[in-house]
Amino acid sequence: LQRRGSGEDFFAFYETHDAAPIEELNGLRWIAAGGCRAVHRLDRATPEGWAELAAAWRTQPTWWFGVLGYDLKNAFEPSLPERGDAWHGMPDLALWEPEWVLECRPDGTVVEHGDAQSWLQQRAAKQETRSQRLSPWSMDWSAPDYFEQADSLKFHLHRGDIYEVNLCVGSQAKGPVNLAAMYRSLQARAEAGMAGMLKWGEFTVVSASPERYLQVSPEGQLRSQPIKGTAPRHADATKDAAEGSALRQAEKEQAENVMIVDLVRHDFSRVAAAQTVKVPRLLELQSFKTVHHLVSTVEAQLKPGLDWLDAVAASFPMGSMTGAPKLRAMELIDSHEARPRGWYSGAMGYVRPDGSADFNVLIRTLFGHAPSDSWQLWAGSALTLAADPAAEWDECLLKAATPQNVWNESVE
């Protein structure tokens, strides 16, 4: 299914890996979609464009799959400036209505919506002409460049403009890859709970995200699971346990996580029924294959008459990828990072006809542009007054290492 879909113009495969940590909110083992009935895109996010998009879904609720790019924020905060040309014309929002959907439930039962079998039988993966262009990974910044921007942001932290900000750095590479093999290799190493691969026209996403941005139930229950706090895994069990315990007890990491939890609670409160915003799990240590994380879970109940579109408008982008206060943090991100984030730190996922939805946060993710064989990868970390820029730089390198290595091994 992944191999066949990787040769199509529109295809999605999202999975919640069976390996630890098992997340109780993951209601499916995987979901896939293909074919295209209609495309919905916003090249540049505006309040008017978002209103038209929302009206289209509310008029005819249906399946939508795709990506909410980071700069969709401008539809909800129009005072934020545009940052210039997007990477290869990447739109701020890229959704589509598929011809078919397959859902694999926890017991292994596969439910088909539409005619996926005909698609599988009749379509052969396209044989694309592969270029021989190859450029290795090149980061936008060196360590001194990063330290310069981090020091500038720490000035704003000392002044009280912000309490936390997520500073990210991009990398660029060029080369033809085996998309399906690269996704399988990345997920085998990461065992991420919100992973997926996506083809949307010229653009490709290969994600090993561990983080849930937003889940909406058919009854309007909202859930978000911000991650703040990262430490490496170790092959030695004693060292690994000590690393996880140290992360769980680290005051700086706890403070970062709680600040973002408060931000998500505030975002949810804008659309939630009174007294329904809760934090059932706070500072939970989750151990993935290559890293430990601190994960919190925020819940709320939508007010009557509101839907997933209202929840996105109130909470996007994910607070763990901006900082707090959110608007000022986004302004400073725009003025300090080397280039527009594109789809990085946005969200990838799907919406059902009943209004339920599930979106990840696009981190630990490779972004491709098929015609040019160009690829992007980003990594970031949170800066607070207590942050050591050298340690935050090392965290960026740690987060980027696995996707970079997998891409290097997948070049054809």
Condensed to tens digits (0 to 9), the pLDDT of residues 207-240 reads: 999 999 999 999 999 999 999 998 999 999 999 9
Active site residues per annotation: 211, 228
In the prediction, which pLDDT does 222 show? 98
Identify the band that residue 122 occupies on the pLDDT scale cut at 50, 70 and 90.
confident
Query: In this predicted structure, which of 47-51, 80-84, 170-174, 216-220 has the lowest mean pLDDT?
Result: 80-84
Q: Which residues does residue 112 pair with via DSSP β-bridges, in sequence order?
A: 102
How many residues are given for the chain?
412
CA distance 162 to 324: 6
Q: Where are the domains of the chain?
A: 2-126+134-410
Q: Between residues 52 and 126, which one has the greater pLDDT?
A: 52
Q: How confident is the model over 298-347, as pLDDT tens digits?
A: 999 999 999 999 999 999 999 999 999 999 999 999 999 999 999 999 99
Given this model, what pLDDT does residue 124 score? 55
Cβ burial 20-52 (10 Å sphere, 16+ → b, else e)? ebebeebeebbbbbbbbeeebbbeebeeebbee
Rounded distance between C-alpha atoms, residue 214 and residue 320, angstroms: 12
Rounded mean pLDDT of 186-192?
90
Write down the CATH number for the domain with range 2-126+134-410. Answer: 3.60.120.10
DSSP string, 232-245: E--SSHHHHHHHHH
pLDDT of residue 25: 67
CA distance 370 to 373: 5
- In whole angstroms, what is the distance from residue 212 CA to residue 228 CA? 12
Average pLDDT over residues 166-180: 96
Q: What is the mean pLDDT of residues 182-196?
A: 93
Closest C-alpha among 267, 159, 157 to residue 222: 267
Under 8 Å between Cβ of 196 and 20: no
Nearest 10 degrees: CA dihedral of 266, 270, 271, 273? 80
Radius of gyration of the chain (CA): 20
Burial class (CB in 10 A: 0-12, 13-18, 19+), 371: exposed
Count of CB atoms within 10 A of residue 234's CB?
A: 14
Position 143: which residue type? Answer: A
What is the reported pLDDT for 344?
A: 98
What tokens does 328 get? 């000022």
Residue 133: its pLDDT value, please?
A: 66
pLDDT at 289: 87
Average pLDDT, the chain: 93
Q: What is the pLDDT of residues 349-392, one digit of tens each?
A: 999 999 999 999 999 999 999 999 999 999 999 999 999 999 99
CB 285 within 8 A of CB 294: yes
Rounded to two decimals, the pTM is: 0.95
8 A C-beta contact, residue 368 and residue 220: no
